[in-house]
Amino acid sequence: MTRPSPFSVRGRHALLMMRDEREISIVRRQLHRLGMSITEIDPERPAAADVAGDVIVLDADSIPIKAEAAPPLKTDLPVIALIGTETPSRLKWLLDLQPASFLIKPLRSAGLYTALVVAFDCSHRRKEDAAHLEKLEDRIRSRRVVFGAVLQLMRSHALSGDDAFTLLRQTAMRHRTTIEQLSADMVALGGMPNRGSRTA
């Protein structure tokens, strides 16, 4: 799958979670110039962020912070945070939110395109990293299963580790399955599965 360019913003959809009308008008004007569509959402109703979109532009100062509450926004979309209040509690809340990019208030007519590009690129990298991590975790789980199957063969056939793995590989090839799948079947059954012919 081709990775979309973070520089291409035309046709994308932004969700605005802002209150200040002057700032909304600045962001709205810039997004329209960039060819993006927008939906405006009340910052106090973050559940509405379930609306389909490509990026959220969030006025971080407009959401009240409660000491016991986690960030109220749960989304996979990249977030561009607008920051005006630089208190430790507000910045802690912002760090927990993990914005992909930010802009310092008061807003100007420049900087939004850069924030969008950074946000889209950061979002793609996070997704790629998560997918890579999932593959690594799958590999680790598979290796544990294969190791368990090799141990079974070593014990049941009095084989060395290398010979047990060779038998496992040959059996998997003979039955046109993967070593990992055959190993999982062996671990589940407590021995070599019966696949219609003698395998060991």
pLDDT of residue 35: 95
pLDDT of residue 14: 94
pLDDT of residue 70: 44
Q: Tens of pLDDT along 85-104?
A: 888 888 888 888 889 999 99
Q: Kindly tell me if the per-residue pLDDT of 2 is higher than 80.
A: no
- Torsions phi, psi for 79 (to 5 deg): -115, 130
Q: How high does pLDDT run on average in the chain? A: 84
Q: Tens of pLDDT along 9-67?
A: 999 999 999 988 999 999 999 999 999 999 998 777 655 556 788 999 999 887 766 64
Residues in the chain: 200
Q: Tens of pLDDT along 148-186?
A: 889 988 888 898 989 999 999 999 998 899 888 889 888
Q: Tens of pLDDT along 113-130?
A: 999 999 999 989 988 888
Model confidence at 199, pLDDT cuts 50, 70, 90, reads very low
Secondary structure (H, E, C), 125-185? HHHHHHHHHHHHHHHHHHHHHHHHHHHHHHHHHCCCHHHHHHHHHHHHHHCCCCHHHHHHH
Domains and CATH numbers, the chain: 13-130 (3.40.50.2300), 133-189 (1.10.10.10)
